[in-house]
Amino acid sequence: MSVSTQAAPSTVDELLNQSGPAALEISGAGRSAFNGQVVATEGAILGLAHWDGTLYLDRECILDPLEQMYSHAGAKQPVPTLLHYREALATLLHEHAHFLGASGASQDAAREAFLKPGSRELEEGVAEAWAQDNLNAYLTRLGVDKVAPGIENVETAGHYNAFVPAVRRLSSDLEARSELDPGQVLNALNRETAAGQFPLLVSLIYNSSRLPELEPVGATTRDDLESLLRQGLNHLDTYEGHPPGFAAAKSHATANDLLQTVHQHIQSAGSAYTSDPSACALPAPALNTSPRPGDLTSDASPAPAAAGAPASARLTPSPVQTALSGVAPARLLQPSTRVGAPARGQRLTEVGFRVGRDAS
């Protein structure tokens, strides 16, 4: 991954101009759909990554704190102020995560895939978890740690408590079973659009079993696994709007139930090809039935994971490892009237931008 030599931003406009390339750089993705256009909004959404590549950011909660941060560059600020700055930048990174994809990825295909069951939950959970894990690297890359000293040492609560714990549970389970480095699955999922995330997730789970060497071409197990995963992740919508701790605990429990169902299906599928069905079971430690403290309190973020971190050294790469290898000036506008409490991370499924909670 190349390291940019561009001077650190000294104004909000410069920050916004560099925000997309910086996110692309630390992610290791093939491309970003960000078109360089930033629109200031006043409404119920903190940030929105539009399908046309335009970035919408709330003026009061995102842009105004960033303006204040640069107007007091280098000054020591109290923790509440640093939290406001960090939350604004976390939203910025979350939205840029939505723009990331593989080289040649199509926004039209991503938009179509985003409408399928489970896709929104997976993409939002991946974008938020990845942004939480990589925010300090992003701040350093943009020189914000010098503009707001101490910002890397405060912790924000984060969003999408109904989605993030489930995504983390699925990712960590795959990493444990496949002997991958922590964060490697999440990083790989984040480098895909909605059109590529489910195919990658299904391939990683399927390849972590013995089924690739047992099943004939044309077997339906992959399709079955995708259906199970979509159904399980789509169920997470039930917990949106609930208190953070409750939503996080239910999200984690849902992921554990989903993993058990997936593993049972793989073992059942393998029973047709071997006299020892347990030989097809995914090798792994027992399921973790307790969420980490941060999942329940939603006030802690793990240490940043390097984007695209290599797997531990092995003589022969596993099938999962094989699957894993592989800007214009900002324009600030002033629209309508603020309505209600903001919510981060919406993606539009209709043409045009609408302020409000039903925009997605």
For 132-146, how does the pLDDT look when each residue is reduced to its tens digit (9 = 90+)?
A: 999 999 999 999 999
Give the pLDDT confidence score for residue 272 in this predicted structure: 82
- Nearest one of 343, 350, 325, 360 to 41, comparing CA atoms: 343
Total residue count of the chain as it appears in this document: 360
Give the pLDDT confidence score for residue 341 in this predicted structure: 41
CA atoms within a 13 Å half-sphere pointing along the CA-CB vector of 101? 21
Degrees to nearest 5, angle at CA 96 with 185 and 51: 105
* CA distance to 46, 83, 93, 264, 338, per residue, from 344 (Å): 5, 16, 11, 36, 14
Phi and psi dihedrals of 40, rounded to 5?
-80, 135
Give the pLDDT confidence score for residue 354 in this predicted structure: 29
Residues with pLDDT less than 70, the chain: 1-5, 275-343, 346-360
- Nearest one of 329, 308, 26 to 181, comparing CA atoms: 308
Token couple for 151 = 């910002």
Give the pLDDT confidence score for residue 276 in this predicted structure: 60
CA distance 259 to 253: 10
CA distance 43 to 59: 9
Give the pLDDT confidence score for residue 339 in this predicted structure: 30
Give the pLDDT confidence score for residue 274 in this predicted structure: 72
Give the pLDDT confidence score for residue 277 in this predicted structure: 55
For residues 152 and 136, the answer to whether their CB atoms sit within 8 Å is yes
Give the pLDDT confidence score for residue 172 in this predicted structure: 97
Give the pLDDT confidence score for residue 129 in this predicted structure: 98
Segment (H or E) for 270 = helix 244-270
For residues 30 and 337, the answer to whether their CB atoms sit within 8 Å is no
